[in-house]
Amino acid sequence: MIVEFGHFALVLALAVAVVQMLVPMWGAYRRNAALMAVAEPAAMIQFVLVAASFAALTYAFVTSDFSLVLVVQNSHTLKPMLYKISGVWGNHEGSLLLWALILALFGACAAWFGGNLPPTLKARVIAVQGSIGVAFLAFMLFTSNPFLRLAVPPLDGQDLNPLLQDPGLAFHPPFLYLGYVGLSMAFSFAVAALIEGRVDAAWGRWVRPWTLAAWIFLTIGIALGSWWAYYELGWGGFWFWDPVENASFMPWLLAAALLHSAIVVEKRESLKAWTILLAIMAFGFSLIGTFIVRSGVITSVHSFANDPERGVFILMILGVFMGGALTLFAFRAGSMEAKGLFAMVSRESALVANNLLLSVAAFVVFIGTIWPLLAELFFDRKLSVGEPFFNAAFSPFAVGLAVILPIGAMMPWKRGELVRGMRPLIPAMLLAFSVGALVWAMQTGRTALGPVGVALGIWVVLGAAIDLWSRTGRGPVAGRIARLARLPRADWGKVTAHAGMGITVFAVCAMLAWKTEDIRIVQEGASFPLGPYEVTLASVEEVQGPNYLSTQATMVVRRNGALVATLTPEKRFYPVQAMPTTEAAIDYGFLRDIYLVIGDPQANGGYAVRSYIEPFANWLWGGCLIMAFGGFLSLTDRRYRVAAGASRRTAAVPAE
């Protein structure tokens, strides 16, 4: 009954979305307030209906309703409750429902928080958002319906893929989707502004918080996925340049570019057409990512069950939305005249450079991802593009961004001087160089990656600190410290996010350059050295988990005889899916992780053991979280809470 209710709610949501798409758009065209007013209730009702549908599916998973095909394929009665719930989005159909839910949520948010938008713009934004909802709800109902029933329900389900039964991965997709789908708001604003034919500073201010929110979620989602890959896959890697990873990374890069160019629109009324184009492309890459993951055109370790029909449907969605938006852009972009003027050396130019590097970097990732497909189509060559290509082709952009970041961040608007602008940064530059050189001298015969990472990290983090300090103006130190606390949240957000980026860059370089690896056969009771540590394989025993069997080793890590940690790496076997997984045991430390993996028993006794020292691993996820927190600080800035139009009204009042 509840399942039918959910199914029905989904169909109803599609109908409401059609209304939401058509009526306000027509109303905005006719300047009819009554028709435009349909937008708000429609967006909210659509959200409530999709939420009800999602709740019904969750209920089916929680109660293990095996009359649903989806539950049979992805759940099991013995599975822990957390994974019964996360199993809802651990498959194609359910994840699509989550996608539609978040889409509707953003539409409803536009209705709730859009009070200060001009009525026609608001109606159009919600209508465009509704049209995306129509596309995805139709896609779901016609090709991927999660509510299909079985005539004869089996006694138990087939369980969720064991790799997915993990807390890190339970929350990874919702965050990622909040990011992907959040970019639909930037898209809706861009298309609405194109229809409206007007892009001004206020538009920049409205679109920025949505982009910022999407970017924050995307950052956290990607970091969660990376962290999961690090501890779960058992070789300590954190990024594999897999097509599906790239699919999330490209929108992230473009969202980061969009965040920065929207500042130029907001503060200086320049780069309007470019910002609109970025907003369209950022969401476009979200759709391309969906296509890559769900069509099976590009082989990836984690593509869904492939279905050409679905691929064609997504390609149609992609074609309609990108084709439509870009055509509109071609007609209207010329009319968006830039107002602000600026010199070659200025904050504006620095942000243009930032945008250039970020978007070309996204393009490089894109061409690397689809090149195997293009090469096969046009040149009849079956080839692969992987980590070495991306490392070589992408890294220069990351380095370039880190190098210009502190300089650009402190550059004045309109017109600056390169030499004068860099003067406050000289200490950061000197320290970065000398520490980098010191590290280079200390580590003989290794790659330059480590020292470069150290230098870039110091440069960016210290540069951010100097940026913040310079915002406090001049005068005695005590006064400046007092002013520090009163700086706008946006300033704090900016330097926090930049510092987080510096930390992340450093951590990536450190982990790639200084990792220690050891592979050997260890007898029970024997010890072996690992860097400065001594590791003992104390015992190995069989353990029964809730829905798995485990071979659990107890390993003791000592340093100079003193106990550092007792770790229990496991090798699990999930009988329902007949699949082994490796549970690495990690001693998380501030400067290093000790990462132990137990492998197969050997013929001559003993076990294969892999051990790693991962330097600065926590700094990587920490850096991402700091970046996201910086975005959050910026989002709470007062100017987004005060109505954009309000400041103009107060400014018009005479000063007396």
Partner 1 sequence: MTRFLLVLMMVLAPLSPAFAVQPGEVLADPGLEARARAISRDLRCPVCQGESIDDSNAPISRDLRLVVRERIMAGDTDAQVIDFVVSRYGEFVLFNPKPEGANLILWLAGPGVLLLGGLGAFLYIRRRGQAAAPVEALTADEQARLRELMKK
Site string for partner 1, 480-519 (x = CB under 8 A): ---------------------------------------x
Output 283 or 397, the one with its CB closest to partner 1: 397
Q: Give residues 370-399 in contact with partner 1 (rule: CB under 8 A).
A: 371, 375, 378-379, 381-389, 392-393, 397
Contact 20, 50 (CB under 8 A): no
From the CB of 396, what's the least distance to partner 1, in Å? Answer: 8
Amino acid at 106: F
Amino acid at 224: L
Q: How far apart are CA 548 and CA 162, in angstroms?
A: 9
From the CB of 641, what's the least distance to partner 1, in Å? Answer: 32
**Which of 283, 260, 261, 293 minimizes the C-alpha distance to 274?**
261
What does the block give as tokens for 234? 């058992």
Q: Give residues 262-301 in contact with partner 1 (rule: CB under 8 A).
A: 270, 293, 299-301
From the CB of 321, what's the least distance to partner 1, in Å? Answer: 20
From the CB of 346, what's the least distance to partner 1, in Å? Answer: 8
Output 122 or 294, the one with its CB closest to partner 1: 294
**Residue span binding partner 1 (CB under 8 A) among the ranges 207-215, 240-248, 543-551, 625-633:** 240-248
**Residue span binding partner 1 (CB under 8 A) among the ranges 4-12, 147-155, 275-283, 350-358:** 350-358
* Interface with partner 1 (CB under 8 A), residue from 148, 305, 320, 442: 305
Output 169 or 280, the one with its CB closest to partner 1: 169
* Interface with partner 1 (CB under 8 A), residue from 49, 176, 278, 644: 176
Output 41 or 80, the one with its CB closest to partner 1: 80
* Interface with partner 1 (CB under 8 A), residue from 414, 420, 483, 648: 414
From the CB of 190, what's the least distance to partner 1, in Å? Answer: 20
Amino acid at 283: F
Output 475 or 654, the one with its CB closest to partner 1: 654
Q: Is the dihedral of CA 418, 420, 424, 427 positive or negative?
A: positive
Three-class SS string for 377-430?
A: HHHCCCCCCCHHHHHHHHHHHHHHHHHHHHHHHHCCCCCCCHHHHHHHHHHHHH
User: Which residues, in sequence order, are CB contacts of 376 under 8 Å at separation 6+?
Assistant: 382, 383
What does the block give as tokens for 511? 């982990």
* Interface with partner 1 (CB under 8 A), residue from 20, 129, 248, 634: 248
* Interface with partner 1 (CB under 8 A), residue from 70, 108, 164, 509: 164
**Residue span binding partner 1 (CB under 8 A) among the ranges 15-23, 165-173, 436-444, 472-480:** 165-173
Output 476 or 654, the one with its CB closest to partner 1: 654
From the CB of 633, what's the least distance to partner 1, in Å? Answer: 24
Output 139 or 206, the one with its CB closest to partner 1: 139
Q: Is 245 in the site for partner 1 (CB under 8 A)?
A: yes
Q: Give residues 579-598 in contact with partner 1 (rule: CB under 8 A).
A: 579-582, 597
Q: Is 134 in the site for partner 1 (CB under 8 A)?
A: no
Q: How far is CA 243 from CA 68, 141, 218, 296, in A?
A: 31, 27, 16, 11
Q: Is 549 in the site for partner 1 (CB under 8 A)?
A: no
**Residue span binding partner 1 (CB under 8 A) among the ranges 45-53, 244-252, 275-283, 560-568:** 244-252
User: Which residues, in sequence order, are CB contacts of 24 under 8 Å at separation 6+?
Assistant: 35, 36, 38, 39, 42, 123, 124, 126, 127, 130
Output 118 or 601, the one with its CB closest to partner 1: 601
* Interface with partner 1 (CB under 8 A), residue from 186, 213, 247, 468: 247
User: Which residues, in sequence order, are CB contacts of 625 under 8 Å at separation 6+?
Assistant: 220, 223, 500
Three-class SS string for 41-100?
A: HHHHHHHHHHHHHHHHHHHHHHCCCCCEHHHHHHCCCCCCHHHHHHHHHCCHHHHHHHHH
From the CB of 644, what's the least distance to partner 1, in Å? Answer: 25
Contact 458, 435 (CB under 8 A): yes
* Interface with partner 1 (CB under 8 A), residue from 225, 251, 408, 457: 225
Output 387 or 541, the one with its CB closest to partner 1: 387
Q: Give residues 78-97 in contact with partner 1 (rule: CB under 8 A).
A: 86, 89-92, 95
Q: Give residues 4-43 in contact with partner 1 (rule: CB under 8 A).
A: none
**Which of 86, 73, 60, 62 minimizes the C-alpha distance to 2?**
60
**Total site size for partner 1, rule CB under 8 A:** 95
The CA-CA-CA angle for residues 498, 499, 505, to 5°, reads 90
Output 518 or 534, the one with its CB closest to partner 1: 518
Q: What values do phi and psi take at 560, rounded to 5?
A: 50, 40
* Interface with partner 1 (CB under 8 A), residue from 40, 65, 242, 266: 242
- Looking only at the bridges linking them, the beta strands covering 562-567 and 570-574 are unpaired
Contact 143, 306 (CB under 8 A): no
Give the HSE-up count for residue 628: Cα atoms under 13 Å, Cβ half-sphere. Answer: 21
From the CB of 92, what's the least distance to partner 1, in Å? Answer: 6
Q: Give residues 429-488 in contact with partner 1 (rule: CB under 8 A).
A: none
Q: What is the largest CA-CA distance in the chain?
A: 92
Site string for partner 1, 607-626 (x = CB under 8 A): -x-x----------------
Q: Is the dihedral of CA 621, 622, 623, 627 positive or negative?
A: positive
From the CB of 168, what's the least distance to partner 1, in Å? Answer: 10
Ranges of H-type helices in 63-91 = 69-74, 81-86
Give the HSE-up count for residue 513: Cα atoms under 13 Å, Cβ half-sphere. Answer: 21
- Between 347-379 and 387-410, two packed helices, what is the crossing angle to 10 degrees? 170
**Which of 249, 279, 247, 248 minimizes the C-alpha distance to 261?**
279
From the CB of 81, what's the least distance to partner 1, in Å? Answer: 17
Output 87 or 493, the one with its CB closest to partner 1: 87
Q: Is 163 in the site for partner 1 (CB under 8 A)?
A: yes
